[in-house]
Amino acid sequence: MTPPGDARKINFLAAAEAHWSASGGKFTAVRRMICRAIPAFDHAFDAEGLLREVQKEDALVSLSTVYRSLRSLRGGGLLDEVKGPGGRRFFSLPRTADQSSSHLVCTDCGKVFPLDNPCLGLRESQAVRRKGFHPRTVRLHIEAACEALHQDGHCPHHSA
């Protein structure tokens, strides 16, 4: 039996390969490395973090290659983009409307934390259906300041 993390990686690789094939692109060795690294993130990631992971395998991969790959994957619906403070972009694997995609962005340090709230997608999807629509995705984006940082001067999430 394939462990769940491995299945997620295999599914993403297959979807990425199909995306580039359908768009007339090639699934190069570098794109394959990038696509193997993406499902390993259990949180939203930025291009620089992805580059660090990919460069563990090939130090010659450039940031521009990572950005082009992310833009293509996002355009193909394989990644969601989350805007952080100052326009900083983070990416995560998309979820269905019933799962929802929810993120908390710390306005102090700029980190993005996933929020697991299975009720959000269900509740909001029902509201949309009552209006006569079929939801494709549900996303919640919350920007918040760290209470502990402002009270104690120390953020417990800074190293998280």
Q: What is the pLDDT of residue 43?
A: 76
CATH class of 95-152: alpha beta
Q: Are 76 and 23 in contact (CB under 8 A)?
A: yes
Whether the predicted model's global pTM rises above the 0.75 cut: no
HSE-up of residue 18 (Cα within 13 Å, Cβ side): 9
CATH no. for 4-83: 1.10.10.10
- CA-wise closest residue to 30 among 51, 14, 15, 9: 51
Q: Enumerate the domain spans of the chain.
A: 4-83, 95-152
Q: Which stretches of the chain score pLDDT less than 50?
A: 1-3, 96-98, 160
What letters, b where the CB count within 10 A reaches 16 and e where it falls short, cover 12-26? bbeebbebbeeeeee
